[in-house]
Structure 1
Amino acid sequence: MSTVSTHVLDAVLGRPAAGLDLVLTRPGGGTTAGRTDDDGRWRHDGDLPAGVHTVRFATGAWFAAQQRETFHPEVTVAFTVTEGEHHHVALLLSPFAYTTYRGS
């Protein structure tokens, strides 16, 4: 079984990015919408097929809700799912930059 989770942190405020909307897109176009919890985390519990997936984070709307300016209206991270593994997509976010990496 292959799974995916994410953790988004606001690097400027040093806090989790709670309430950030996102969309997971699977090969072939299937999608799952979600929102980060109070700890900035979201998890897709279903089994994912192997292949290239994307997670699109709605950063523009999230910053706008806080009356903060941002350069990136969205952040899209593409990653490859390998059969039988857990994939953790971490995102460190600020209004004018972001970093992503495969976490554990």
Structure 2
Amino acid sequence: MTKHLILTLLLSLTVTLAFSQAHTHQLSSHILDISTGQPAAGVPVRLEKLKEKTGKWIPVEEKITDSQGRIKDFLDYNKTETGVYKLTFLVADYFKQQNTATFYPFIEVVFQIRDKEHYHVPITLSPYGYSTYRGN
């Protein structure tokens, strides 16, 4: 291979990797079912924003987890506002499809966006428990 071809391939790979890791949306989420060790696919997740003056939750958008249990595209960076948000993970039907009883028909996670950084709000899930944290 020529030096020029090698440099072109390396540059192409670098640009591809940089582009694939760039976030176009400020919020993402992930559900891992720790009772099976698998991602929880097909779970509806609702995003709402607290209207501070009235104390009411305003719907922002609703999405469904992909085959890897992920939602990568909540809150377009160009439209995001700081404030208090809530993700509601509607897990009842997920467990019903697994023929598994659950204590939690849905899980609400409330958090605050204070800046333009990327926020990742995942949950680890089982029929009788869950945990959440701020990921990256």
State the TM-score, normalizing by the size of structure 1. Answer: 0.93
Q: Structure 1's 91 and 81: CA in aligned 2 closer, same or farther, altered over 3 A?
A: same
In angstroms, what is the RMSD of aligned CA positions? Answer: 1.5
- 1-side partners of 2:95 and 2:121: how far apart? 20
Per the alignment, residue 36 of structure 1 pairs with: 65
Instruction: Tell me if 1:80 matches 2:112.
Output: yes
Q: Is the 8 A contact 2:25 2:75 kept in 1?
A: no
Is there any run of 5+ residues in structure 1 with no aligned partner, and where?
none
After the TM superposition, list the runs of 4 or more consecutive aligned residues in structure 1 that deviate by more than 6 angstroms.
none
Residues 2 and 50 (structure 1), Cα distance of their counterparts in 2 relative to 1, 3 Å cut = farther
Task: Give me the whole-angstrom Cα distance separating, in 1, the residues matched to 2:25 and 2:45.
Answer: 19
Hey, what does 2:21 align to over in structure 1? none
How many pairs does the alignment contain?
Answer: 104
Residue 2 of structure 1, CA deviation: 6.9
Give the C-alpha shift of residue 92 in structure 1: 0.1
Give the corresponding residue for 1:46.
Answer: 76
Give CA-to-partner distance per residue, 1:27-66, whole Å, 9 cap, x none: 3313201000011100215132101100000011211122
Matching residue of 2:30: 7
Aligned to 1:22: 45
Structure in which a larger fraction of residues adopt strand: 1
Aligned-pair identity (%): 35
Deviations 1:50-87 (A, max 9, x none): 01100000011211122110000100000101221111
Distance 1:89 1:37 in 2: 15
Structure (1/2) with the larger helix percentage = 2
* TM-score, length basis structure 2: 0.72
* Structure number with larger C-alpha Rg: 2
State the distance in 1 between where 2:50 and 2:111 align. Answer: 11
